[in-house]
Amino acid sequence: MKNVRSYLTFRFLAVLLLSSGLAAASTFIVPTDLRLGETISINENGIDASALAGVIGITLQQGDDTFLRETLCVDLFTSIGLGGTYLTTVLSPSQVPIPPDKHLLRVSWLIDNALFPVLDPNFQSALSSTDWVQTAAQAAGIQLAIWDIVHDNGDGLLAGSVQQGSTDHPTDQAVLDAATMYELVSVGKQSNLAFIYSNVDLNGHAVQMLAGPRYGTGPVPAVPEPATLVLVGAALIGMAEFRRRKKRA
């Protein structure tokens, strides 16, 4: 019976943590335009292609309130359309229910230190201000770096599913230089402060996930309520007490 109680306590705790940590206010977003960036030539899984790379402006709607946000794409191989309307949930990187090999904590560090300081110059960035995202090449470069980090663990742009364009369809050298720099400076770095916009279309189908700087107003990632924290603590205490008694037995 004690083993059953311990198992049920663990299951209760797991469900409680998932329901409290991943719950977030549902809102609608409309990706509006490419605020900063350019169309670049790249190689996607061995095929020459063109991609819109850079900072995408979105309109975030919650109730009667509208908020403007700056974002970057996360997954190169999942589409999202400018001007479309999507249902979104705002999460922190650690709340995203996808495999850890997406490296969203590293992506978050880049956003915090290269994009967020442009919006808030008082933020103490780990990067020089010359490396903040302020030009079209830098915007396209950080986007290219994020795609390579997400899909290939930042293995450089000469290998993996995300590569620089071929000789016949070359990637802008300024974009390549920026992407290489952003990959190098983010090696081994992590942050959980960026906002992740998990999106589905109005039929419930998943579309491109977006990532952007944190904001102090509007929808934010959910955190456990104080009452929930008390319940989690009680569950943990119960599990610890069970282990203590079991050792004595």
| pLDDT at residue 63, rounded to an integer | 86
Collapsed DSSP state (helix, strand, coil) of residue 53: strand
Q: Which amino acid is at 91?
A: L
Cα maximum dimension of the chain:
73
| Percentages (nearest 5) of helix, strand, coil residues in the chain | 40, 25, 35
DSSP state of 101: G
Which pTM value belongs to this model? 0.78
**How does pLDDT run across 177-215, given as a tens digit for each residue?**
999 999 999 999 999 999 999 999 988 899 999 999 999
Residue pLDDT, tens place only, 213-233: 999 888 888 775 444 444 444
pLDDT at position 122 is 85
Q: Residue 47 forms beta bridges with which residues?
A: 44
CA 156 → CA 81, 145, 152, 211, distances in Å? 28, 8, 8, 21
Q: Give the residue ranges of DSSP H helices in 22-135.
A: 104-110, 116-119
**Integer CA distances (angstroms), 148 to 27, 47, 85, 94, in order:** 29, 15, 27, 19
Per-residue pLDDT, 14: 31
Phi, psi for 74 (deg, rounded to 5): -105, -50
Helices and strands, number each (H, E), in the chain: 6, 7
pLDDT at position 121 is 81
Looking at the DSSP bridge assignments, the partners of residue 59 are 30, 68
pLDDT at 242 (0 to 100): 42
Distance, in Å, from the CA atom of 174 to the CA atom of 138, rounded to the nearest integer, reads 8
Q: What pLDDT shows up at residue 28?
A: 85
207/230 Cα distance (integer angstroms): 36
Domain ranges, ordered by start, for the chain: 2-20+225-248, 25-212
Positions in the chain whose pLDDT score sits under 50: 1-25, 225-248
Residue with tokens 């998990």: 198
In whole angstroms, what is the distance from residue 123 CA to residue 134 CA? 16
Element (H, E) at 232: helix 226-248
Is there a contact between 40 and 169 (Cβ–Cβ < 8 Å)?
no
The pLDDT score that the predictor gives to residue 1 is 34
- Which residues, 6+ apart, have CB-to-CB distance to 204 below 8 Å? none
Alpha-carbon distance of 24 to 238, in angstroms, equals 28
At 164 the pLDDT is 96
